[in-house]
Amino acid sequence: MASVAVAAAAVALALAAAPVPASAATAASTSAAPVPGSAAAAGIRRPAGGVFHLRGKGLGHGRGLSQYGAQARAAAGQGYRRILRAYYPGTTLARGPAGTVKVRLLDAGGRRLRVHAERGLSAWWRGPAGAVHHRVLPTRMSGCRVGLWRAHRQDTRLSIDARSCGRWHTLVPARRVHAGGPVSFLAADGMVALADFDRRIGYRGYLRATVARGVVQVTNVVGLDAYLRSVVAAEVPASWRPAALAAQAVAARSYARYAIVHAGRRGYDLVDSSAAQVYPGAVRYDRRWRVAARAEHPRTDAAVARTARQVLRWHGAVALAEFGSSNGGYTADGGLPYLRAGRDRFDPAFGWTDTVRAARLQKAYPAIGRLQQLRLTRRAGSGSWGGRVDAVTLIGSRGRTTVRGEDAVRFLLGVRSTDLAVVSTG
């Protein structure tokens, strides 16, 4: 999801305004009047300078809950249940299972998983015949203190090695581990510390390494509400109103439960980036393994506890509770009965300007030749200029191509949202 934290830099550049206003009446916005070049089917010719100028609103896809809108609603006196009803109409709050969630850590892995050695750290692995093995790992090997442990890829298998006396020593050879793994590390205090590349992060639960398509995938298996303690604090400021924090906690829990139900056989439920939900773990350490920062916060912890196990349901099934920073004053159509397009008078409707070079668009699709015209060929949902751009056609000297879908359009143009218009100033 496009979180408030991820969008903070964009907001700072786009606005000279203060924090989210207490009511929609004071929200910052730009004019909703059409601007030149905003008609969906009208083509915008290549400017003389080769740069298309864009004007837009919002930060993110605009589907479901607006985080800034939820804060404004909370400031206006709305409770978290009312906020959720506003952004997910027709859904009901229900009690869901506790359970665990499997989060793939995208920046970890590759050839190995490394963790910080500590007393009581244990390893679990599946043997070649399928039996599960467990061992509390020693703190010394070859006469030296162990600093790191790793699960290291050897073809399709993983060995378990210790770093001591300046080199690696194998404790469990790859031949004694099932093809593909898994190998898991669990700390006695329930917080295992990743030591991959420059990342020194403590994760609740345990870390698991598997081999898939020749790459070591690292997954954090963690209790759902323990996961949410990190997510909610990363997605919205802990200083926000309790009702906004509680609404975010329920939305994030529902989104995670939906992902768990629909994960299939890929081996994980979610990734740890804004492509799903921002998840930085629980603790960041310095080079001496001292706590440098905590990702969790007592106020967001309280929101998770206050809404414990609460999820949104639609006709008995968990709802896909999408959310984003700001919808620009209009929620987008998410293709589901409870993700409706419509006006949101509580969202501050952040306005922004941007540019995209014709050369960049040509490079993405060289077969079209020299770009001559840009067309916003389709709009969907609702927005300031007749709807969010859902399709863009590039017309060149040798042909044309159409890019469809909100995510694809955002990537192509490099914009904060697709609630936009193009203004060619020459």
- Nearest to residue 44, comparing CAs of 358, 367, 379? 358
pLDDT score at 219: 97
The pLDDT score that the predictor gives to residue 363 is: 94
d(CA 385, CA 389): 9
Average the pLDDT over 266-272 and give the result: 93
Residue 259 phi/psi, 5-degree rounding, is: -65, -40
Report whether pLDDT(39) > 50: no
Q: List the beta bridge partners of residue 336.
A: 339
Res 15: pLDDT: 28
**One-letter identity of residue 96:** G
Q: How many other C-beta atoms are found inside a 10 Å radius of the C-beta of residue 16?
A: 7
What pLDDT score was predicted for residue 296?
97
Token output for 226: 């323990």
pLDDT single digits (tens) 63-101: 999 999 999 999 999 999 999 999 999 999 999 999 999
Nearest CA-CA partner of 404 in 423, 389, 420, 386 = 389
Q: Which of 120-124, 250-254, 405-409 has the lowest mean pLDDT?
A: 405-409
Task: Give the pLDDT band (50/70/90) at residue 42.
Answer: low
With bands split at pLDDT 50, 70 and 90, how would you rate the model's confidence at 197? Answer: confident
The answer to whether residue 126 scores a pLDDT higher than 80 is: yes
Query: CA 330, 334, 340, 344: dihedral to nearest 10 degrees?
Result: -20
What pLDDT is attached to residue 426? Answer: 52
The pLDDT tens digits of the residues spanning 379-426 come to 887 888 888 999 999 999 999 999 999 889 999 999 999 999 988 655
Higher per-residue confidence, 108 vs 230: 230
Find the helix packing angle between 224-235 and 298-306, rounded to 10°: 130
Strands (E), 240-364: 270-271, 283-285, 291-294, 310-314, 317-318, 323-324, 330-331, 342-343, 351-357
Q: What is the mean pLDDT of residues 285-311?
A: 96
Confidence of residue 22 (pLDDT cuts 50, 70, 90): very low
Half-sphere exposure of 224 (CA within 13 A, CB side): 24
Q: What is the average pLDDT score of the chain? A: 89
In the numeric block, the tokens 């030149």 are attached to 36
Residues 6+ apart with CB under 8 A from 131: none
Give the pairing of strands 144-145 and 167-172.
unpaired
Q: Which two three-digit tokens encode residue 123?
A: 């390893």
- Show me where the domains of the chain are located: 4-66+346-423, 101-224
pLDDT of residue 196: 82
Q: Which tens digits make up the pLDDT trace of 313-336?
A: 999 999 999 999 999 999 999 999
Distance of alpha carbon 404 from alpha carbon 152, whole angstroms: 41
Q: Shortest CA distance to 59 belongs to which of 88, 35, 28, 82?
A: 28
Confidence band of 38 (pLDDT split at 50, 70, 90): very low
Q: Is the pLDDT of residue 13 over 80?
A: no
